[in-house]
């Protein structure tokens, strides 16, 4: 396999590579290879993406009581009479 030398890696990128290596208990070389494979679309089972997806699912779950309270709050807003504080009128907007 060929070796490739990458020059001028900034400090932020170098630290992120080290963080990924530590988090996954990989060598720095393994972390760079995973990042390169992912970046060029050659990662079959994308471990980093799968973990982010798992975290997103956990963050999006509500208890039954929380869901009921949220729906009740939405219904209360629907019963409020009046008009919006701000009207969205595209014809009268100032150009930016």
35-44 pLDDT, tens digit per residue, is 999 888 887 7
pLDDT digits (tens, 9 = 90+) for 66-93: 888 988 888 888 887 777 677 766 655 5
* DSSP three-state, residue 7: coil
Same domain, 36 and 66: no
- Domain for residue 92, yes or no? no
pTM of the model: 0.45
User: What pLDDT is stored for residue 52 in this prediction?
Assistant: 55
- Domain for residue 95, yes or no? no
Structural domain of 1: 1-44
Rounded-to-integer distance, Cα 86 and Cα 93, Å: 12
Tokens coding 94: 């100032």
Same domain, 50 and 76: yes
- Domain for residue 87, yes or no? no
Same domain, 21 and 32: yes
Do residues 46 and 38 make contact, with C-beta atoms less than 8 angstroms apart? yes
- Domain for residue 33, yes or no? yes
């Amino acid at each position: 396999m060929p070796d490739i030398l990458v020059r001028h890696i900034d400090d932020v990128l170098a630290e992120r590579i080290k963080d990924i290596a530590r988090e996954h208990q990989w060598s720095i070389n393994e972390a760079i290879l995973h990042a390169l494979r992912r970046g060029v679309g050659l990662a079959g089972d994308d471990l980093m993406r799968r973990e982010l997806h798992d975290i997103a699912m956990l963050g999006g779950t509500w208890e039954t009581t929380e869901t009921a309270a949220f729906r009740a709050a939405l219904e209360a807003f629907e019963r409020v009479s009046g008009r919006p504080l701000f009207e969205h009128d595209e014809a009268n907007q100032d150009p930016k």
